[in-house]
Structure 1
């Protein structure tokens, strides 16, 4: 699958991003990036993309994670985070597994148009009609999705109250 993918040396997540999928390659973890332009491969972990995106926009992964913890309270793991404001709209990505896991997948809230269950997996349909089969129960996926949507609504309300 990855043999046909073009390798890139840099990537910044945005609301054009669909998902960032960890992909073991030899002794290293790479990232398969799916976005509105198709799929490419990046020679580092998805978390590096998340960190670089936060840094580019004047923040850090730690600060974004801290802000999510303030909103969610006791829940401290697998939090959705805002990596940027994309043309004034919060760009929210949520991890399916631990953000530091070599098997983690980050999903962009904005890219999802449908979710279906297939046994122990979840099939996500993105805004361009492409689908991704994910190794997670639909109940767990839905939990992460709802938390990301709640966080998005919170950020929008917070932004609007400052106007």
Structure 2
């Protein structure tokens, strides 16, 4: 992160400490208010731009991550994004990411939520800070579940790949070991 003045940062990538990226009006433009576990920043970029840049920082594109979500859990609208699955960085949007009022939330840090009214939900994060977000509690709950499903499917795939590679390497090592201990004379 490169800091300029008064909490405004020029560059920002999502980290394991990022709780939320929400839009704020800054004059006639939409900026981002970034909430971390112990800090807060303002960025001159829109929340979606920060999500896209963070995907690229972790070696993928936003489009690629969206395609991955579609392939894994068949979700295309308001799709949760695995920004960096190895660090458990999964974010989900509160509305269509193309809408200026879209807020992005970290799945990992949400501890609880409560309906405030028909269009607002109070979200409490791991650091005990609460925020009122413009999203119905049913929509928020749906997004939370979708993100859990994505996370679970991705972890399943990673574990399955580990198991396959374990058996692949174990079998080939086992064959070499049994060939070395052969009771039969070599035909060389």
User: d(CA) in 2 for partners of 1:90 and 1:155?
Assistant: 10
Aligned counterpart, 2:109: 111
The size of the alignment, in residue pairs, is 156
Aligned counterpart, 1:17: 18
Larger Rg: 2
Q: Which has the higher strand share?
A: 1
1:115/1:125 contact within 8 Å kept: yes
Q: Over aligned residue pairs, what C-alpha RMSD do you find? A: 1.2
Question: Normalization by structure 2: what TM-score?
Answer: 0.79
* Structure 1 residue 109: Cα displacement: 0.2
User: d(CA) in 2 for partners of 1:149 and 1:123?
Assistant: 19
Question: Normalization by structure 1: what TM-score?
Answer: 0.91
Residues 46-82 of structure 1, C-alpha deviations (whole Å, 9 max, x = no match): 1111111111111100000011111232x42100011
Residues 12-56 of structure 1, C-alpha deviations (whole Å, 9 max, x = no match): 112211110011212211000011122211111011111111111
104-113 or 47-56, which moves further after superposition?
Answer: 47-56
* Structure 1 residue 161: Cα displacement: 1.2
Q: Which has the higher helix share?
A: 2
2:19/2:109 contact within 8 Å kept: yes
Task: Please list every run of at least 4 consecutive aligned residues from structure 1 whose deviation after the TM superposition is greater than 4 angstroms.
Answer: none
Aligned counterpart, 2:44: 43
User: d(CA) in 1 for partners of 2:69 and 2:88?
Assistant: 13
Instruction: Flag the structure with more relative contact order, 1 or 2, with Cα contacts below 8 A and sequence separation at least 6.
Output: 1
Aligned counterpart, 2:96: 98
Structure 2 residue runs without a partner (length 5+): 1-5, 163-188
